Amino acid sequence: MAGRPGAGSRGRNEPGQEHHPAADELVRPPAGQHVDVRLTASNGYRAERSYSIASPPEDGRLTLTVERVRDGEVSSYLLDELRVGDDLEFRGPIGGYFVWSRNHGGPICLIAGGTGITPLMAMLRHREKSSDATPALLIYSARSLADVVYRKELDAMASRDDDLRLVYALTREQPSDWLGHCGRIDEALLAGHCFPREQNPTSFVCGPTDFVESIARMLVRLGFDPLTIKTERFGPSGG
Ligand SMILES: Cc1cc2nc3c(=O)[nH]c(=O)nc-3n(C[C@H](O)[C@H](O)[C@H](O)COP(=O)(O)OP(=O)(O)OC[C@H]3O[C@@H](n4cnc5c(N)ncnc54)[C@H](O)[C@@H]3O)c2cc1C
């Protein structure tokens, strides 16, 4: 690496130049979108990565959820070095396809792998904050209960909402009294929990690339219309 990237300062909007939105322009994007975070080192070296937005449009602030990637350039910087008061350079919000808003209609089936929960969390928060009663199912695959991001909030949300169902799939480690699903999400789990095809649910699948592709294939095999399956892959997003 040619130099240590750091948080850049927010630029100004000049004609013909890249748009640098002020923070208040960024904070009300539809649930499901992401931003690109750009770090610039003093020698001009730049690193840019995508991060989904966890906060709902109602929130008035932008929340990101960053998972530590071993030897990761940008995730390590954001988790270890970024300090309160530092400027960060963003591009976005980006993405008009993987979004959900309260007037969408039909049940929603949200399927998350790991930090893939992030944009789905924005959708669930938006659904709750806008008092939307769209029936919703979240199937969330994590290594262990401790790895379930937002667990407290999700459990609380489901406990006060009969139209929201939560299913955790724990792949590596389960508590001794665990009655939920053990192992990866499989076709039987999807078939047992997803809304019936006749209800025309929309599925939002987010997580690592291989996770997303395998879930999408299973949903198609179960007879769901591919056009109703929206995917977001958290693959490496470098630059
Ligand atoms: C649309 C989109 C949204 C995303 N949203 C989020 C989010 O909300 N939260 C979040 O934590 N991440 C998210 N990511 C992933 C994120 O953009 C970065 O790829 C991740 O933080 C790693 O960047 P890094 O600079 O730390 O690692 P790098 O320095 O780029 O990579 C270090 C090593 O890790 C590998 N690697 C890179 N990225 C990943 C990855 N995602 N999974 C496994 N191995 C990887 C690389 O191949 C390399 O070997 C998203 C990606 C996309 C495309």
Mean pLDDT of 114-133: 96
- State the distance from the centre of ligand 1 to the C-alpha of 208, rounded, in angstroms: 9
Residue 25 confidence (pLDDT): 53
pLDDT category, 104, cuts 50, 70, 90? confident
- State the distance from the centre of ligand 1 to the C-alpha of 166, rounded, in angstroms: 26
DSSP secondary structure code for residue 59 in this structure: G
Are the C-beta atoms of residues 222 and 194 closer than 8 Å to each other?
yes
The C-alpha angle 73, 74, 79, rounded to 5 degrees, equals 110
Mean pLDDT of 41-47: 90
Residue 8 has pLDDT above 70, yes or no: no
The C-alpha angle 76, 80, 81, rounded to 5 degrees, equals 105
Residue 7 has pLDDT above 60, yes or no: no
pLDDT category, 1, cuts 50, 70, 90? very low
In the sheet that holds 229-233, the strands lie side by side as 181-182, 164-170, 136-142, 108-113, 202-207, 229-233
- State the distance from the centre of ligand 1 to the C-alpha of 70, rounded, in angstroms: 10
- The residue length of the chain stands at 239
- State the distance from the centre of ligand 1 to the C-alpha of 78, rounded, in angstroms: 12
Residue 18 has pLDDT above 90, yes or no: no
pLDDT category, 28, cuts 50, 70, 90? confident
User: Residues 64-94: pLDDT tens digits?
Assistant: 999 999 999 999 999 999 999 988 899 999 9
- State the distance from the centre of ligand 1 to the C-alpha of 235, rounded, in angstroms: 6
pLDDT > 70: percent of the chain: 87
Residue 209 confidence (pLDDT): 96
Residue 132 has pLDDT above 90, yes or no: yes
Are the C-beta atoms of residues 30 and 101 closer than 8 Å to each other?
yes
List the one residue out of 184, 181, 195 whose CA is nearest residue 137.
195
Compute the distance between CA of residue 56 and CA of residue 28 in angstroms, rounded to an integer.
7
Q: Give Dmax (Cα) for the chain.
A: 61
Residue 238 Cα: closest atom of ligand 1? 30
- State the distance from the centre of ligand 1 to the C-alpha of 177, rounded, in angstroms: 34
239 lines ligand 1 (CB under 6 A): no
Residue 211 confidence (pLDDT): 97
Residue of the CA atom closest to atom 19 of ligand 1: 236
88 lines ligand 1 (CB under 6 A): no
65 lines ligand 1 (CB under 6 A): yes
Compute the distance between CA of residue 154 and CA of residue 149 in angstroms, rounded to an integer.
9
Phi, psi of 199 (to 5 degrees): -85, 0
Residue 238 has pLDDT above 80, yes or no: no
Are the C-beta atoms of residues 202 and 106 closer than 8 Å to each other?
yes
Domains present along the chain, CATH in parentheses: 23-94 (2.40.30.10), 108-233 (3.40.50.80)
232 lines ligand 1 (CB under 6 A): yes
Residue 26 confidence (pLDDT): 57
237 lines ligand 1 (CB under 6 A): yes
Residue 97 has pLDDT above 70, yes or no: yes
Residue 155 has pLDDT above 70, yes or no: yes
136 lines ligand 1 (CB under 6 A): no
Are the C-beta atoms of residues 191 and 219 closer than 8 Å to each other?
no
List the one residue out of 202, 206, 209 whose CA is nearest residue 227.
202
